[in-house]
Amino acid sequence: MSFEPKILGIACNWCTYTGADLAGTTRLQYPQNLRVVRVMCSSRINPSFIFKAFQLGADGVLVGGCHPGDCHYNTGNLYARRRLAVTKKILEFSGMEPGRFRVEWISASEGNKFAEVVREFTEEIRNLGPQTKFKIS
Amino acid sequence: MATSFKQIEENLKTEAGKLLDAGKVSMVLAYGRGYDEKHPLPYVARSLADVDGMVFNEYCTANLARYLVRYPRGTKIGIAAKAADSRAVIQLIQEDKVKRDDLVILGIPVYGMKNAKTDEAIDAKTTCGLYNPVIYDVLLGEEVHGQPVLSPYEVLEKVEAMGQDERFAFWKKELDRCIRCYACRKACPMCYCDPCFIDQNKPKWGEKSPETGGNLMYHLTRFHHLAGRCIDCGECSRACPVDIPLYLFHKKVAKECEEMFGQAAGMSIDEKPALINFRVEDSDKILE
Amino acid sequence: MLKKTTVQKLSDLAAGLMEKGALIAPVREEAGHNFREISDPAAVDLDFYNTLLSPKSVFFPHTEDFIRYKTGASIAEAVCVEPDIRPTVLFGVRPCDVKSFEIMDIHFTGTGKVDPYWAKRREAATIFGYAFDPNTPADPADFYSTLGIGAADPEGSDVFMIRKDQDLLLQAVSPKGEKLLSELPSLSDASADDQKYFDGTVAAGRTFKTRFTCVEAEPIAKKFEDLFHNAAFWEKVSEACLSCGACTFVCPTCYCFDICDETLFSQGTRRRVWDSCMFTDFTLEASGHNPRTKVYQRLRQKISHKYSYHIRKYGPISCVGCGRCTRNCPVNIDIFSIVNEAMKA
């Protein structure tokens, strides 16, 4: 059986999640491998969510937030940018393939970008193969 | 020429005595006699009579900043602080856990500390490698100059050079040894959360049993919680009964934070911790 | 019956023991020696002072599964996990640690309620005790002689081993040990000289002194009862304590555990995991109330339990003086120094 990646998406309510909606309403095609969780802001994301997702078997984690400067709460994504950068470095130093975690800024009007990012990321994870390092069996 | 340990001990007793006698502080955190020379204990002097019990030698490695948060806010405390310890004090002030005005910092410039377990010198390999306290009110000896100043991050080269799979195998081997005694978080001056995330039940972040999954969750999250805050005193690794080189991971995170955010933890009381701060001009490149 | 072999031929002995069952013996690891199940006989290493972790985990593992279940499924579908009990040889245990098994037996089998996991493992095990060398000074953290334990006490072991230079002398202590020794072809009979050396060492072990002088349990038990409400004393001695669990996890006589339900998706496991009275959440009640929130209360519990409550309830002091807690304390707290201080208070 061919490998179908399981990808966790964590999207901010105001931009990326709305962007995903737009992708849907404009009938854009993108892979079904992404399961999206909506949060109110990218700064609400506890880094442990990402570690936990990998432990529970996610092959990749995609975080989406508003473009810097566009945060609904003015500065949330600016904090998130620093925090998630650290998460990325920690994952990398622990031995996880860096490509499995990605942060993208996608606005509510960027349905196209959302679909494009999901397509690209899914392909990348497909090439990386199943994530086994963190997964608890 | 560095001041001798004996002389520092004398100066410590004198200065602590003065502070307690004048009523400027209600306690002085220092080191006292343990069950032998090699194993001194963290010690609290509350009166002039207690001062005699103080010692200082090359095995006084414990970071006393750890105890600051234990006392009620507003308690006037004198604290003996070596280089890394003083950075911990600064970091705690930045995080508003203690007030600068409540502290009298007795700075100890020191070279030649030793790990009692291994008898190895404590240097830039396992700590930040500074010799002189960053902040102090009274200095208990002459500043140390002329000793080699080594980069605290040189020791990372070997692990950084590993491939992803090799590095994962390395950390898995190290972290699998963890017995979850939590000596690392309890010895850490920056780990003051009550309850710690790993002790929470709802949500339950990691299992209690010392197995790969829970161990990884506990340590990775702890590394993350200390990002931009770890002052590289190396206490976690010295406290670990099974010798997990936690300092390596903390150093790596500290190095990345310094490169990305342009500030090291615990160097100035006017800064904000890097992760509760931002700059509009932070680059998206840090996410790549 | 005294048998002998040489240290060089230790792996032959180990290989012989592995034919009798699982062999658990000291091996060298990064942070020190530890008891591990042996797969390569050459890995057994008797060049150690004492192991980092105590041998209690052989009978009382850090994690032990009891029940497996599916969340949402009927309780009737839950299955008991049968403990993996095999004939076991526990090799190279120091006399103070052998003594600890006797103390642990009280809790797991001696009070009328029998813990089958402990009891079955204990029954299936043959213990090879291994004397400290009475000719070299004890580690400064040790105080087993204070509690009346010799450096070379054979009691409690099935077979007792004493090292004589490059020779290893093995004396059967129990019938179980005798039977096992007679079945090991790699051993030769020891000489009368060896017997003299063996007996001499056991005798020397009884007069061997670690730090501190001998103590009596009763006055200590009484003293700690009197000191219970002396918060000033306990605050003073606990000022350095970080309240981590290092001391309790390396201790051979700490037996507290927690029953945890650990789930992965719908697959649940009910398991026993070591717990420590030094942890804040050890006494946390479901209501949110915690009767021991302060460090001094937890340290008081730990020390009073070992040196007072235990004496009152069961007789012996719940400590064997192995020194592990002292050696592994991140801030060098020494439990017996606190007992000494208490006696002076």
| Residue numbers in B near C295 (CB within 8 A) | 70
Mean pLDDT of C164-171: 94
Percentage of chain C modeled with pLDDT above 70? 100
Position B2 scores a pLDDT of 79
Mean pLDDT of B176-197: 96
B193 and chain A in contact, CB less than 8 A:
no
pLDDT, mean over chain A: 96
Q: Would you say residue C113 has pLDDT above 80?
A: yes
Q: Would you say residue B288 has pLDDT above 90?
A: no
Q: Does any domain span residue A135?
A: no
Of A89, A97, A134, Cβ closest to residue B256:
A89
Position B150 scores a pLDDT of 87
| A112/chain B closest Cα distance in angstroms | 21
Position C213 scores a pLDDT of 80
User: Which of the listed residues B78, B110, B139 is the one where a domain comes to its end?
Assistant: B139
Q: Would you say residue B257 has pLDDT above 80?
A: yes
The tens digit of pLDDT for each residue in C229-267 reads: 999 999 999 999 999 999 999 999 999 999 999 999 999
The kind and range of the H/E element at B261 are: helix B246-261
Given a contact cutoff of 8 angstroms between Cβ atoms, the answer to whether C243 and C280 are in contact is yes
Q: Would you say residue C112 has pLDDT above 90?
A: no
Q: Does any domain span residue B275?
A: yes
Q: Does any domain span residue A137?
A: no
User: Which chains are adjacent to chain A, needing at least 3 Cβ pairs under 8 Å?
Assistant: B, C
Least confident of B36-50, B140-154, B169-183: B140-154
Q: List the CATH number of the domain containing A66.
A: 3.40.50.960
Of C31, C281, C330, Cβ closest to residue B199:
C281
pLDDT, mean over chain B: 95
Given a contact cutoff of 8 angstroms between Cβ atoms, the answer to whether B221 and A51 are in contact is yes
| C273/chain A closest Cα distance in angstroms | 18
- Residue type, position B205, single letter: W
Q: Would you say residue C215 has pLDDT above 70?
A: yes
Q: Would you say residue C20 has pLDDT above 70?
A: yes
Q: Does any domain span residue B148?
A: no
Position B148 scores a pLDDT of 82
Clarify whether residues B206 and B135 are in a common domain: no
| Residue numbers in C near B208 (CB within 8 A) | 258, 260, 262, 273
Contact at CB, B208 and C273, closer than 8 angstroms: yes
| B284/chain C closest Cα distance in angstroms | 36
Residue C307 to residue B73: CA distance in whole angstroms:
35
C141 and chain B in contact, CB less than 8 A:
yes
- DSSP labels, B14-51: HHHHHHHHTTS-SEEEEEE--SSTT--EEEEE-SGGGG
pLDDT, mean over chain C: 95
Q: Least CA distance to B198: which residue of chain C?
A: C281
Kindly tell me the number of DSSP H helices and DSSP E strands found in chain A. 4, 4
Query: Which residues form the domain of B49?
Result: 5-139
User: Which of the listed residues B90, B113, B139 is the one where a domain comes to its end?
Assistant: B139
Give the residue from C85, C62, C60, C55 showing the smallest Cα distance to C260: C62
Give how many domains chain B has, as a whole number.
2
User: Which of the listed residues B106, B139, B172 is the one where a domain comes to its end?
Assistant: B139
Contact at CB, B209 and C63, closer than 8 angstroms: yes
Residue B24 to residue B16: CA distance in whole angstroms:
10
The tens digit of pLDDT for each residue in A2-34 reads: 899 999 999 999 999 999 999 999 999 999 999
Position C8 scores a pLDDT of 93
A135 and chain C in contact, CB less than 8 A:
no
Q: Would you say residue B1 has pLDDT above 80?
A: no
Q: Would you say residue C4 has pLDDT above 80?
A: yes
Give how many domains chain A has, as a whole number.
1
The tens digit of pLDDT for each residue in A39-83 reads: 999 999 999 999 999 999 999 999 999 999 999 999 999 999 999
Q: Could you give the C-alpha distances from B135 to B84, B86, B239, in angstroms and in order?
A: 10, 6, 25
Clarify whether residues B107 and B20 are in a common domain: yes
Position C111 scores a pLDDT of 87
Clarify whether residues B130 and B196 are in a common domain: no
**Non-local CB neighbours of A80 within 8 Å, separated by 6+ positions:** A41, A42, A43, A45, A63, A65
Q: Would you say residue B120 has pLDDT above 80?
A: yes
C265 and chain A in contact, CB less than 8 A:
yes
Rg of chain A in Å (alpha carbons)? 14
C326 and chain B in contact, CB less than 8 A:
yes
The tens digit of pLDDT for each residue in C27-56 reads: 999 899 999 999 999 999 999 999 999 999
| Residue numbers in C near A136 (CB within 8 A) | 264
Clarify whether residues B130 and B220 are in a common domain: no
Clarify whether residues B198 and B260 are in a common domain: yes
Give the count of beta carbons closer than 10 Å to the beta carbon of residue A129: 11
Q: Least CA distance to B258: which residue of chain A?
A: A86
Which residues, numbered 37 to 96 in chain A, qualify as contacts with chain C under a Cβ-Cβ cut-off of 8 Å? 56
The tens digit of pLDDT for each residue in B36-90 reads: 999 999 999 999 999 999 999 999 999 999 999 999 999 999 999 999 999 999 9
Clarify whether residues B27 and B120 are in a common domain: yes
Clarify whether residues B277 and B164 are in a common domain: yes
Contact at CB, C265 and A56, closer than 8 angstroms: yes
Query: Which residues form the domain of A25?
Result: 7-128
A1 and chain C in contact, CB less than 8 A:
no
Kindly tell me the number of DSSP H helices and DSSP E strands found in chain B. 8, 5
